[in-house]
Amino acid sequence: MKKIGVFVCWCGLNISRTVDIERVIKEVSRHPQVVVSTDYKYLCSEPGQNLIQKYVEENELGGLVVAACSPNMHELTFRSVAQRCGINPYLCEMTNIREQCSWVHDDREEATHKAIDLIIMTVEKVLRSDPLYSSTVPLTKKALVIGAGISGMESALDIANAGYEVSLVDKRPYIGGHMTQLSETFPTLDCAQCILTPKTAEVARHPNIKILPYSEVVEIKGYVGNFEAKIKRKATYVDWDKCTGCGICVEKCPQKTYSEFERGLKERKSIDIPFPQAVPFKVTIDKESCIYLKKNKCGVCAKICPAEAVDFQQQDTIIEEKFGAIVVATGFELLEGDDLAEYGYGKYKDILDGMQFERLNSSSGPTSGKILRPSDGKEPKELVFIQCAGSRDREKGVPYCSRICCMYTAKHARLYKQKVPDGQAYIFYMDIRAGGKGYEEFIYRSVDEGNILYLRGQVSKVFEEDGKLMVWGMDTLSSKKIEIAADMVVLANAMIPSQGSKLLASILKVGTDEHGFFQEAHPKLRPIESLTRGVFLAGCSQSPKDITDTVAQGSAAASKVMAMFSNDTIKVEPVVSLVKKEDCSGCFACEIACPYGAIEHEEYKGRQVAFVNAALCQGCGSCTVACRAGVVDLMGFSNKQILAEVEALLWK
Amino acid sequence: MKKNSLSPIIKELLKNGTVNYFLAYGKGSFWFKVRPLIIREPVELKNLEWNRFCYPNLTTYLKDSSRSQDKIGVVVKGCDVKSVVELIKGNQIDRENLFLLQVPCDGTVDPGKVENLVWISKLKVTGFEETGNGLEFITKEGRVSVNKEEVFFSKCYKCDFAPSPLVDRYLDEERLEKNQPSIDNPDLYEELRIIEEMNPEKRSIYWEKQFSRCIRCFACRNVCPVCYCPTCVFDQKDTSWISKGVKPEENNIFHLTRALHVATLCTGCGECERVCPMKLPLMELNLKLIKEVDELYHYKAGVDLQSISPLKEYGKDDYDEFK
Amino acid sequence: MEIVAFLCNWCSYAGADLAGTSRFKYPANIKVIRVPCSSRVNPTFILKALANGADGVMVSGCHPGDCHYTTGNYFTRRRLLLMKRLLEFTGVNPDRVHLYWISASEGTKFAEAVKEVVEKVGKLEKNPMSSIEGEIRYEKK
């Protein structure tokens, strides 16, 4: 049996105020394996650490128990102290007598008793701890970036510029994401295309970046450093190697269909290039509307294409590739549907969402940048903007703030005033959130421009009457009911995670929050990492944010990837499951319980038995309970360790 | 029941090499007992038996069979097939090396119940005869008639047998179709109600008494077809799941853990309870979990090879009484 | 009264830490055993605790759907539900074993849960599964 040293921390007064430390060390020293039981004011300090080292050397300790704060705080600290003293770090355990004892109990007697019991439980655990060793696995220095919006592109460029290969996947047939649809950006009113197109061009021609547009990730196996991805390249029915983007086919195609890019404000052809600056500049056939693909008739595009690029036989293909790290940058979309029914969204043509209004403002958009009503092409003179359409709504829509709506609504109102100087803009708002560099100033300029009327309050109803859109609302500052006969209404729809996020999360085995955004490892300190090692988050996939933050997070994710790739191997945590194969029945109940596919089969004495791939195992221990015989055990939290902690209750 | 038609089939299967040996029932030391019989040579068929007392579940002897290359034939009743299903699902049987010969069975007789009913001393009964609805025991004092459900194992008169595609050969297909539970719409969980309806204190005392009688002989575990772990969790040397000495206060850990370990695997064959020398009502624990699993997750063990045990799966929208 | 609590490292243990940093008070009867995931909690651990002198057991994990390991707590939910039904059937009051879903941000909920467990267990008779009256394991050296 090991000789155990128990070190009790005062944490100044934090622990010692409530726990009688003198009594604790005396009681604990009664345990036959405890040869050192001592205390110090601040064990985490350098003299505290040196004290531990001194005792280890003098007493040839085999295991350490540090009774102090939460292991989440200082487990790493004290395990590295153990390592410095020549003790395997996993033979050092912490007892939490601060967060879970001195801070939550008032009674000194009770807290002292509890501290003693908890320490004895830990001593019993350490007595059954085995030394554990981290292993390393080789690493594929190639990154997969999912989503080629501004965030994904930024990530891909940074990683590629560091000299590593990147595959950049997007479900759309082009890169650039939502930013390609924007007209101008706040707070500078830069032309979105002018700042975006150099980026898309750079991405497209970067030797280290392989762009995979019109593709989706369908399967991820493996683990950090060694992910095996299956990416589906959807059939475009056009051989892109041959297509020159001349556009003759688009001109001749007789079939029109809904344009996602223009958000329905304009129709497009079944064979199409979504917009003039699209990268790659290639045509794609929409299989839902193409006459030839549906009815085997037409085929005009194939006949007319000078490059003979149209290929109706094309099939979806699956690319299999290995990656060391993954960046998720799948972005957002706008809330639609019943949640916005009170605003008449989807019912009346002249009620637009923010993105549609962007298209109206875009010089390459359906109206060439003119603000015209979709219903009759007339210029709207009374325009109502409604912020928080679906956001910050606990009943309908989403409870969170979508963060960018205050800003882009102010921008929209200003663009409108520039284009329709005699028009009147109204903005219904709950309150203005303009917490960014230059944002508050931007809002004030919008307010000061005049003829933009900010109304604090919410809209209760929008309905059509005599060709006007009647907006009923409330101005809570003047407590007056407001009724506006508007020509057009623009909603700042809530941002929600892009479609397919949930599915992708399950493919990647990363969590999502209650709203479906990808879950970061820690809301403050690890906002870039997911809870799965090697999968990083960027942009609106994690939460709504503006372009500035999106780009910053894209770069941050890239730097995490680069830090990983700067090593040749990856360290694997030793807190993993292990199978005692001679006792394994081969029932593989463990295999089904494992969320990571870490249980593999191996042959042992003519039978198939379970084997844990340590690089895949994340150490949850679900398999250990699925295994009736307790043959699969979790290192560091083994059956005998936990049972010993339970049995220590007997100690009185 | 026809042991005469069983013999030529086994003989043929041995002869043509379909199987290397056959696992069947042999004559026991008393007329009301049978024992497992391994038939390697046709001459051994002389000890073959098939009667109302063939209640043991022979599939428990298949637990280790995947380690041998022998082709094994086994005589099974409808209920035994369920155990085979679980053994296959647990990768304990190599289906390729197994030949299932099913004999029609419409119930086996529990000697204990007979004893309660007619035997003052076992030796006084010399045999029995089948009558239309029941059995007639021949004693020196004369004949005693009993109804089937009075002497059948309860699993038998509630038998929900359905022919399984898994079986290689049926002995008598015509008879098989007629296999029906002895009573209509049996209350599958009737044994549980008495306990469920007890007040908690009484229930606690009842089980405390039962568990305290356990001598930890492990017969229940050893006979169980789905207790197939090479080293049982309770036999581990270095992990103290329960104390090695007989500590009555830990007996419940053993029995409750065992019940949980066979939950979703237990087909209700009742062998554990039958072999218990202390006559602990072990099937009540198993039956309780069979009932809960059925009600919560609509799953029954031993029914088919495809369905997955609800303890190996999860449902995102499962019933959740926790806060 | 002794309560053993198995807390998952990522949600509930962090929630308990938060209760500490927020100084939410709760009874000292609870002894926490940290496990990586609630799915690490073997029902036999609970039986063992009850037989070894614990008057009650509390298990707590991330909310269903939020498991750090994606699906672990879904297994826990089934395993412990069956176990509780079996315990109740053998005369163990269901109030002896509790399962909670407590996230890392629910320090208040953790403190309230402990209070609730202590209160419910406090109302029960002596634990029928335990026949241990405080055995002295270690004599003074």
Confidence bin at A123 (pLDDT 50/70/90): very high
Whole-number Å distance between alpha carbons of A354 and A386? 10
Q: Which of C20, C75, C141 sits opposite A100 (nearest CB)?
A: C20
Rounded to a whole number of angstroms, the distance from the CA of C79 to the nearest CA of chain B is: 7
CB atoms closer than 10 angstroms to residue B8: 11
Strand partners, A236: none
Cβ contact, residue pair A593, C26, below 8 Å: no
Q: Which of B201, B242, B322 sits opposite C77 (nearest CB)?
A: B322
Name residue, tokens 């879950």.
Answer: A519
Residues 6+ apart with CB under 8 A from A482: A455, A457, A471, A472, A473, A474, A475
Confidence bin at C136 (pLDDT 50/70/90): very low
* CA torsion through residues A62, A65, A70, A73, sign: negative
Both tokens assigned to A352 = 């637009």
Which of chain C's residues have a Cβ under 8 Å away from the Cβ of A514? 66
Which of chain C's residues have a Cβ under 8 Å away from the Cβ of A647? 48, 52
Closest CA to A65 of A13, A8, A10: A8
Cβ contact, residue pair B308, A647, below 8 Å: no
Cβ contact, residue pair B292, C86, below 8 Å: yes
Burial A239-253, CB ≥16 within 10 A → b, else e: ebeebeeeeebbeeb
Q: Which of B253, B260, B314 sits opposite C82 (nearest CB)?
A: B260
Closest-approach residue (CA) in chain C for B286 = C86
pLDDT at residue B263 greater than cutoff 90: yes
pLDDT at residue C141 greater than cutoff 50: no
pLDDT in tens, A598-611: 999 999 988 899 99
Q: How far is CA A119 from CA A21, A151, A461, C31, in A?
A: 12, 48, 63, 10
Pairing of strands B169-170, B98-102: parallel
Check: CB of residue A275 under 8 Å from CB of residue A283: no
Chain C contact present for B205, CB below 8 A: yes
Chain C contact present for A114, CB below 8 A: yes
Which amino acid is it at A475? D
Confidence bin at C138 (pLDDT 50/70/90): very low
Q: Which of C28, C43, C68 sits opposite A531 (nearest CB)?
A: C68
Interface test with B, best of A585, A623, A631, A637 (most B CBs within 10 A): A585
Question: Looking at residues C104-124, what average pLDDT do you find?
Answer: 94
Residue A101's pLDDT is 97
Q: Which of B230, B239, B312 sits opposite A643 (nearest CB)?
A: B239
Both tokens assigned to A241 = 């190697």
pLDDT in tens, A234-253: 999 999 999 999 999 999 99
Chain C contact present for A74, CB below 8 A: no
Interface test with A, best of C22, C29, C32, C34 (most A CBs within 10 A): C34
Rounded to a whole number of angstroms, the distance from the CA of B261 to the nearest CA of chain C is: 10
Whole-number Å distance between alpha carbons of B82 and B64? 17
Cβ contact, residue pair A649, C52, below 8 Å: yes
pLDDT in tens, C15-33: 999 999 999 999 999 999 9
pLDDT at residue B180 greater than cutoff 80: no
Q: Which residue has the higher pLDDT, B237 or C115?
A: C115
Which of chain B's residues have a Cβ under 8 Å away from the Cβ of C48? 241-242, 253
Residue A537's pLDDT is 97
Contacts across the A-C interface (CB distance below 8 Å): 147
pLDDT in tens, B266-321: 999 999 999 999 999 999 999 999 999 999 999 999 999 999 999 998 988 889 88
A589 by DSSP, 3-state: which? helix
Burial class (CB in 10 A: 0-12, 13-18, 19+), A338: exposed
Confidence bin at A16 (pLDDT 50/70/90): very high
pLDDT at residue C79 greater than cutoff 70: yes
Closest CA to A541 of A155, A141, A140: A155
Which of A584-598, B68-82, B166-180 has the lowest average pLDDT? Answer: B166-180
Whole-number Å distance between alpha carbons of B207 and B198? 11
Residue A597's pLDDT is 85
pLDDT in tens, A532-567: 889 999 999 999 999 999 999 999 999 999 999 999
Q: Which residue has the higher pLDDT, B179 or C116?
A: C116
* CA torsion through residues A379, A385, A386, A391, sign: positive
Both tokens assigned to A103 = 């801070």
Whole-number Å distance between alpha carbons of A262 and A258? 9
Residue C139's pLDDT is 43
Name residue, tokens 């038939």.
Answer: B39
Q: Which of B67, B232, B312 sits opposite A589 (nearest CB)?
A: B312
Longest dimension (CA), chain B: 66
Cβ contact, residue pair C4, A649, below 8 Å: yes
Check: CB of residue C90 under 8 Å from CB of residue B256: yes
Which of chain A's residues have a Cβ under 8 Å away from the Cβ of B308? 592
Chain B contact present for C20, CB below 8 A: no
DSSP state of A34: E
Cβ contact, residue pair A585, B313, below 8 Å: no
Residue B142's pLDDT is 79
Check: CB of residue A29 under 8 Å from CB of residue A23: no
Which of chain C's residues have a Cβ under 8 Å away from the Cβ of A646? 4, 33, 45, 48-49, 52, 54
Residue B179's pLDDT is 56
Confidence bin at A651 (pLDDT 50/70/90): low
Rounded to a whole number of angstroms, the distance from the CA of A643 to the nearest CA of chain B is: 7
Question: Looking at residues A46-69, what average pLDDT do you find?
Answer: 96
pLDDT at residue B189 greater than cutoff 80: yes
Check: CB of residue A624 under 8 Å from CB of residue A633: yes
Residues of A with CB under 8 A from a CB of B: 582-589, 592-593, 605-608, 626, 628-631, 639-640, 643-644, 647
pLDDT at residue A319 greater than cutoff 80: yes
Rounded to a whole number of angstroms, the distance from the CA of B36 to the nearest CA of chain A is: 24
Pairing of strands B142-147, B134-139: antiparallel
Closest CA to B226 of B83, B130, B115: B83
Both tokens assigned to C45 = 């651990």
Own/partner pairs for A555-560, CB < 8 Å, 24+ apart?
A: A555/A154, A555/A155, A555/A158, A556/A528, A557/A155, A557/A327, A557/A329, A557/A528, A558/A154, A558/A155, A558/A156, A558/A157, A558/A158, A558/A159, A558/A162, A558/A327, A559/A158, A560/A325, A560/A528, A560/A529, A560/A536
Residue B160's pLDDT is 79
Give the mean pLDDT of chain B: 87
DSSP state of B91: T
Rounded to a whole number of angstroms, the distance from the CA of C100 to the nearest CA of chain B is: 5
DSSP state of B58: G
Chain B contact present for C69, CB below 8 A: no
Check: CB of residue A517 under 8 Å from CB of residue A542: yes
User: Could you tell me where the DSSP H helices lie in A369-429?
Assistant: 405-419
Closest-approach residue (CA) in chain C for A119 = C31
Closest CA to B82 of B228, B227, B265, B260: B265
Question: Looking at residues A210-229, what average pLDDT do you find?
Answer: 93
Residues 6+ apart with CB under 8 A from A411: A184, A185, A186, A187, A189, A442, A446
Which amino acid is it at A156? A
Whole-number Å distance between alpha carbons of A550 and A556? 10
Residue A535's pLDDT is 96
Residue C135's pLDDT is 44
Report CA B268 to chain centroid distance, whole Å: 6
CB atoms closer than 10 angstroms to residue A432: 20
Question: Looking at residues B148-167, what average pLDDT do you find?
Answer: 84
User: Could you tell me where the DSSP H helices lie in C29-101?
Assistant: 43-51, 72-89
Q: Which of residues 572-591 of A touch C (CB under 8 A)?
A: 575
Check: CB of residue A547 under 8 Å from CB of residue A495: no
Pairing of strands A190-191, A184-185: antiparallel
Which of chain C's residues have a Cβ under 8 Å away from the Cβ of B292? 82, 85-86
Confidence bin at C137 (pLDDT 50/70/90): very low
Both tokens assigned to B183 = 């009573």
Which of chain A's residues have a Cβ under 8 Å away from the Cβ of B236? 630
Residue B119's pLDDT is 63
Chain C contact present for A110, CB below 8 A: yes
Check: CB of residue A487 under 8 Å from CB of residue A373: yes
Confidence bin at B32 (pLDDT 50/70/90): confident
pLDDT at residue B101 greater than cutoff 50: yes
Closest-approach residue (CA) in chain B for C65 = B316
Chain C contact present for B243, CB below 8 A: no
CB atoms closer than 10 angstroms to residue A346: 14
Rounded to a whole number of angstroms, the distance from the CA of C91 to the nearest CA of chain A is: 22
Cβ contact, residue pair B233, A630, below 8 Å: yes
Question: Looking at residues A255-282, what average pLDDT do you find?
Answer: 94
Rounded to a whole number of angstroms, the distance from the CA of C53 to the nearest CA of chain A is: 7
Cβ contact, residue pair A585, B229, below 8 Å: yes
Give the mean pLDDT of chain C: 89
Closest-approach residue (CA) in chain B for C94 = B200
Phi, psi at residue A240, to the nearest 5°? Answer: -70, -20
A167 by DSSP, 3-state: which? strand
pLDDT at residue A125 greater than cutoff 60: yes
pLDDT at residue A175 greater than cutoff 90: yes
Residue B136's pLDDT is 85
Q: Which residue has the higher pLDDT, B290 or B5?
A: B290
Cβ contact, residue pair C74, B292, below 8 Å: no
Both tokens assigned to A281 = 């500049």
Question: Looking at residues C9-15, what average pLDDT do you find?
Answer: 92
pLDDT at residue B105 greater than cutoff 80: yes
Cβ contact, residue pair A583, B239, below 8 Å: no
Check: CB of residue A453 under 8 Å from CB of residue A222: no
Asked if omega into A207 is within 30° of 0 (cis), the reply is no
pLDDT at residue C131 greater than cutoff 60: no
Closest-approach residue (CA) in chain B for C97 = B322
Whole-number Å distance between alpha carbons of C14 and A96? 12
Pairing of strands A382-389, A424-429: parallel
Whole-number Å distance between alpha carbons of C51 and C90? 14
pLDDT at residue B2 greater than cutoff 60: no
Chains that touch B (3 or more CB pairs under 8 A): A, C
Report CA B317 to chain centroid distance, whole Å: 34
Q: What percent of chain B has pLDDT over 70?
A: 93
Chains that touch C (3 or more CB pairs under 8 A): A, B
Chain A contact present for B236, CB below 8 A: yes
Question: Looking at residues B230-243, what average pLDDT do you find?
Answer: 88
Residue B64's pLDDT is 75
Which of chain A's residues have a Cβ under 8 Å away from the Cβ of C78? none
Residue A408's pLDDT is 96
User: Could you tell me where the DSSP H helices lie in A426-500?
Assistant: 439-448
Q: Which residue has the higher pLDDT, A521 or B70?
A: B70
Phi, psi at residue A626, to the nearest 5°? Answer: -60, -30
Cβ contact, residue pair B238, A640, below 8 Å: yes
